[in-house]
């Protein structure tokens, strides 16, 4: 997917928050730490630094939501992050984004912190960001 494709899909998927622009995707993809994984109708963008992966954003075409595309992108993200040396993953999600929280929780993420008032909603109100974390590797005795 090109930065244009990513911005178009992000705009379609993120109607309650400001979607990312083509230039934001282009700038992120220029970093050697940032990587992109895609499915036919979804993508995940992340970065790995010092053994820790951050899921920057994940988006699924609204016409293909609830069909496993987001899950497939998340699984590809975990695989790529592990190949790049990550042992743990973290992400931020709006506390009222219940479908995303369910996806992450079902895939081993746990809420580890909260940022009050982090996300602005379309009506001007603010909601907290949950920071969720999961291990990619199992520690061996």
Asked if pLDDT for residue 136 goes beyond 70, the answer is yes
pTM of the model as a whole: 0.90
Query: So what's the pLDDT on residue 140?
Result: 38
Does the annotation mark 92 as catalytic?
A: yes
Q: Is 119 a catalytic residue?
A: no
> What was the pLDDT predicted at 138?
55
Question: pLDDT tens for residues 100-116?
Answer: 999 999 999 999 999 99
Output 45 or 123, whichever has higher pLDDT: 45
Average pLDDT over residues 84-100: 94
Residue closest to 79 by CA, chosen among 50, 116, 38, 120: 38
Catalogue the long-range contacts made by 1-4 (C-beta closer than 8 Å, 24 or more residues apart): 1/36, 1/38, 1/43, 3/29
Set out the domains of the chain in order of their start, with CATH numbers: 3-135 (3.40.630.30)
Query: Which candidate in 104, 109, 114, 118 is catalytic?
Result: 104
Q: Which of 54, 77, 92, 119 is catalytic?
A: 92
Q: What is the pLDDT of residues 40-89, one digit of tens each?
A: 999 999 999 999 999 999 999 999 888 889 999 999 999 999 999 999 99
């Amino acid at each position: 997917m090109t930065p244009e494709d990513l911005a178009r899909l992000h705009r379609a998927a993120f109607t309650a928050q400001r979607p990312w622009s083509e230039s934001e995707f282009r700038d992120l993809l220029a970093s050697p730490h940032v990587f992109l994984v895609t499915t036919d109708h979804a993508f995940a963008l992340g970065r790995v630094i010092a053994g820790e992966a951050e899921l920057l954003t994940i988006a699924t075409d609204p016409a293909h939501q609830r069909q496993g595309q987001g899950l497939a992108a998340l699984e590809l993200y975990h695989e790529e992050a592990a190949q790049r040396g990550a042992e743990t993953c973290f992400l931020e999600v709006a506390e009222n984004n219940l479908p995303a929280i369910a996806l992450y929780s079902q895939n081993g993420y746990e809420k580890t912190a909260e940022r009050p008032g982090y996300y602005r909603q379309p009506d001007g109100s603010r909601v907290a960001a949950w920071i969720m974390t999961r291990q990619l590797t199992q520690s061996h005795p």
